[in-house]
Chain A
Amino acid sequence: MKAVTWILRIGSVATFAVMAALVYRFLDVNDIWHWNAPYDFIVTVFRFLSLVLFFLTTTMISGLASAFGGGTLPNDLVVGLYNTLVLRQWYMQPYGVDSPLTNLQQVWTSFGANMSSVLLTLWDNTFLFLYFLFAGIGIVLFLQSLVRMDHKFVGGAFLSIQAIIIVASFKLLSVPNMDPFPTDFLIFLTDSYQLLALISFAYLEISYQMIYSYSVGKPVEDREETLKKQLLALRQATRKQDAIERGEKVASSGISRSTSATAFSFLREAIERKVVGSKDALENLDAVSDVRRLQIYVDELLQSDSKARDELTAKAAAPSSAYVIGSTITGSLVRFLSVIVIAFILMSPSVLTTILRLPQGIWNSMEILQPEMMLLLFLPVVLLFPFAAMVITWFSKRAEVEKEELTEEEREAEKARKKDLARRRKEAARARKERERARKKRSHRESEIDEWDKALEETYRK
């Protein structure tokens, strides 16, 4: 199965590379791929923050100065002195200010003018930055998906790359668009943007197949690996105990704590209880004997049953590679073809009008050329598939949860047990009542107190 996973991994890399390259090429006409865009964005953010800080500082100082100056704003001399001494080093050159500002009014006017220009630059740079950000996230998630084999990384990489187009659409740039939507199936198939859509879909499909191939083969391989580690850890632990019992000095663990802990939860418990490898090992007899008994049990099991090892690793469960390759190709092809055909039927206005037999007025209207028109067929068709699946599920015999059925003997035994319990309860209650009645009768009849009751009373009185 490893070979199949590797083939699909190469396929995933190829489709992602083509998808990313196509997105880059289609958006390149907008001249957005300025490689210094991230740097510009960060510099602009800091410029914006420096302006805000500048404004806050001058306002605060002026306020404080007016408070100390008897409620009047500081005169130009004070502001000039402050700006000369404190703000001399302020980075104001981008705003065309070379020397310190000596007039408070001048400071605020300068701030207002600079602020709006910085904000506008920031707005533009933000989008340029976002393209790079999404591309970066997409590549990182894609690389993660190859190693971690998780659907969420594949989905994240796909969405990040497509998000570049979504953001570019928002900015009204020239983006891949099939407007007007082709009415001819062949034109539709050969459209370059259709190619991008297909490659993007293929990336998802191949990556998901790769994860399937990995997750079908991996558990069995992992099982074997885990069992090896567990048996090794167990053997080393018992050897160490023997050494401790013989009074020998035990060197640091041959297996690392982390390795053994991940491999062997049972041993982990023993390690956590500081049994294996510590001096007070013999004190915790239970844990030591548990590990030793487990070793003996496993040894006996492996000796007495030749299949035991294979069953523990579930070796026989490994699927054949040939079938997985064949079914991957056929399954993907079927899905591809059906998706393309159905998508064309749903989206092409000519098909839509022919199938729905729309009136001439609508036929000639502009609305027919709007993307929302596809919803007319899209929603019913999409809902048709789950409905069909539901109908099939109803008709095929399929038990979701089975109720446990007891055998006749078990039912009888359960009944007898309940009956016996009820009888014993009844008898105990009757005996209690009788005892109570006898006690009452005795207390009426006998004037003297019973010796035992007397003893208890005397004891309680003390």
Chain B
Amino acid sequence: MITQRGFVVIFAGVLLLTSGFSFVNFYLVLLGVYLVIGLVVTLPLFALTANLAGIEVDRHIDKLKVFSGDFLRVRVTIRNISRRHFDFIEVHDQYPETWILAIGENFIASRIEPGSSITFSYILQARMRGRYHIGPTEVVMRDRLGLHYYKRTLKAHTEVLVYPTWKDVRRMEALGKQRQLGLMFGAHRTKTVGLGSDFAGFREYVPGDEFRLIDWKTSAKSGDMVIRQYEMEKNIQVICMVDTSGSMGNGYPENTKLEYAIRAAVLLTHMGLERKDLVGTCVFSDIVHGYVPPGTRPNHMYDVLEALAAAEPKGWSDYETAIQYVVSNTKKRSLFIWMTDLEESPAPLLNAMKTLVANGHKAMVISPFGPWFEAPVGQFGPVEKVLSEAVSEELWERRNKIARALARFGIEVINVGPEDFLPTIIKTYNQAKQKGVAMF
């Protein structure tokens, strides 16, 4: 293959040749011949030596599973397994577009001796959760004068799974540390009066109470029969229903409704695990993409992260299928926290809620409101502004109707935007703990 600069040499040669022909000048013709012959004369030799099959590329990555925002080092080794010198070799190791090259370069240009190897490395910052591939590696070999080249793309893909960002958890932990209070700061233990061994207080005797619970001393003092009450700590069971339908993907990259829902689910799971509560996660759209049942296993967090990392906004929301699947796999009473934008027709949602309540579960909906996640109205022209406002109003009206319908059955709908999504989930969780919703 002739490079661009090779074509420039051809052009110069042809220019000199035609000038020589036009002005009957042998000097110009000779110079033209020199250029053209000089360009092609080494071509067979280059083709003979530049056998790119003699180049091997090996890539090594420190971690294959990272959190969004984490750094990872990529080491690339190029080996010349042939017996020939490669005068000029360029190696580009490709990485995902959304990632950031933090330190070093993903490119090298050098010569390589037979049997020897070159190793270079660079540090990337993984951005945006998902399944990514590092590679392929492009190897370009040029002749010394840069007139000819051969190119080869080596497969060597390395798959890296990027978990959702951990920064919310880090931030929460940092705040906890700053206040010099434990992680349990602000969290209320869920207690059940009646069982257990911790003393909770007194109450008047009612027929049917056990005699052994009567506090005779206090009864004598007050003149009425009083019984002692004990309480026991209980944990709650929460299931996070993350809707990954197409509409959840609207908004700015990294700030879509789905991304916030995923961040909320990660935060909720972490908080739950810290407080020994059981938190499960279901990722669904028209089918159930992944379900991690509530648990406290050491790997539970990673199971949730893997299920969330692979979530893609596509399809539509089939609430009924999702709830049927989860309810059939869940034995205990649970609090279902739905994270959905409610942009599907209301009937399936209500049917799903019907199934849920009929099975003795509690539910609430945290619903990201589309227009709050999309382009700010200020950036629109007058026509777009009017249209967007009209659409927003209609959407708002629709969700109000759904909220009213759900409220009749004790299911609360909270509309959230990018700023209050995460605070709302923390608040919801804490309230559930206080109220003792869905205890096991």
Is B123 located at the chain interface by the 8 A CB criterion? yes
Q: Which of B1-48 contact A (CB under 8 A)?
A: 5, 8-9, 12, 15-16, 19-31, 33-38, 40-44, 46-48
- Give the contacting residue for B145; candidates A165, A180, A212, A289; CB below 8 A: A212
Is A119 located at the chain interface by the 8 A CB criterion? no
With A179-B24, A285-B171, A398-B150 as contacts: A201 and B35 at CB distance below 8 Å: yes
- B48→A212 contact, CB < 8 A: no
- A205→B154 contact, CB < 8 A: no
Give 1 or 0 for each of B130-157: 1 = CB within 8 Å of chain A CB: 0000001000000011100011111101
Is B88 located at the chain interface by the 8 A CB criterion? yes
Q: Which of A206-260 contact B (CB under 8 A)?
A: 208-209, 211-212, 215-216, 219-220, 223, 226-227, 230-231, 234
A286→B41 CA distance, assembly (Å): 58
- B104→A227 contact, CB < 8 A: yes
Measured CB to CB, the nearest residue on chain B to A307 is B119
A286→B255 CA distance, assembly (Å): 14
- A219→B123 contact, CB < 8 A: no
Is B193 located at the chain interface by the 8 A CB criterion? no
- Give the contacting residue for A404; candidates B85, B109, B155, B401; CB below 8 A: B155
With A155-B8, A319-B110 as contacts: A265 and B119 at CB distance below 8 Å: no
A238→B26 CA distance, assembly (Å): 68
Segment of A51-59, A123-131, A310-318, A352-360 engaged in the interface with chain B: A310-318
Least CB distance from B22 to A in Å reads: 8
- B408→A455 contact, CB < 8 A: yes
- A455→B37 contact, CB < 8 A: no
Is B380 located at the chain interface by the 8 A CB criterion? no
- Give the contacting residue for B101; candidates A265, A347, A452; CB below 8 A: A265
Least CB distance from A383 to B in Å reads: 8
- A431→B321 contact, CB < 8 A: yes
- A205→B33 contact, CB < 8 A: no
Number of chain B interface residues as a range: 35 or more
With A371-B24, A371-B29 as contacts: A230 and B36 at CB distance below 8 Å: no
With A208-B146, A402-B154 as contacts: A175 and B108 at CB distance below 8 Å: no
- Give the contacting residue for B23; candidates A169, A220, A338, A402; CB below 8 A: A169
Measured CB to CB, the nearest residue on chain A to B321 is A428
In the bound complex, residues from chain A placing their C-beta under 8 Å from that of B288 are 424, 428
Is B170 located at the chain interface by the 8 A CB criterion? yes
With A227-B104, A432-B321 as contacts: A169 and B25 at CB distance below 8 Å: yes
- B111→A374 contact, CB < 8 A: no
Q: Which of A312-365 contact B (CB under 8 A)?
A: 312, 314, 316-319, 323-324, 327-328, 331, 335, 338-339, 342-343, 346-347
- B26→A312 contact, CB < 8 A: no
A204→B401 CA distance, assembly (Å): 79
- Give the contacting residue for A197; candidates B34, B113, B171, B409; CB below 8 A: B34
In the bound complex, residues from chain B placing their C-beta under 8 Å from that of A205 are 38, 145
In the bound complex, residues from chain B placing their C-beta under 8 Å from that of A162 are 16, 28, 31
- B53→A201 contact, CB < 8 A: no
- A347→B5 contact, CB < 8 A: no
With A201-B35, A452-B354 as contacts: A314 and B44 at CB distance below 8 Å: no
- Give the contacting residue for B153; candidates A328, A392, A401; CB below 8 A: A401
Is B415 located at the chain interface by the 8 A CB criterion? no
- A331→B19 contact, CB < 8 A: no
Q: Which of B90-128 contact A (CB under 8 A)?
A: 100-105, 107-113, 118-123, 125
A177→B25 CA distance, assembly (Å): 5
- A266→B102 contact, CB < 8 A: yes
- A405→B155 contact, CB < 8 A: yes
Segment of A36-44, A68-76, A98-106, A291-299 engaged in the interface with chain B: A291-299
Q: Which of B329-371 contact A (CB under 8 A)?
A: 346-347, 350-351, 354
- B25→A335 contact, CB < 8 A: no
- A176→B47 contact, CB < 8 A: no
Is A403 located at the chain interface by the 8 A CB criterion? yes
- Give the contacting residue for B88; candidates A216, A220, A308, A424; CB below 8 A: A216
Is A35 located at the chain interface by the 8 A CB criterion? no
With A179-B24, A392-B48, A456-B346 as contacts: A317 and B110 at CB distance below 8 Å: yes
- A388→B44 contact, CB < 8 A: yes
Q: Which of B24-81 contact A (CB under 8 A)?
A: 24-31, 33-38, 40-44, 46-48, 51-53, 69-71, 73, 75
Other A-B pairs, 17, CB within 8 Å; known A170-B23, A266-B101, A428-B288: A159-B12, A169-B22, A175-B27, A216-B109, A294-B125, A311-B120, A312-B122, A317-B112, A371-B21, A385-B40, A388-B43, A389-B44, A396-B53, A397-B51, A402-B154, A404-B155, A405-B155
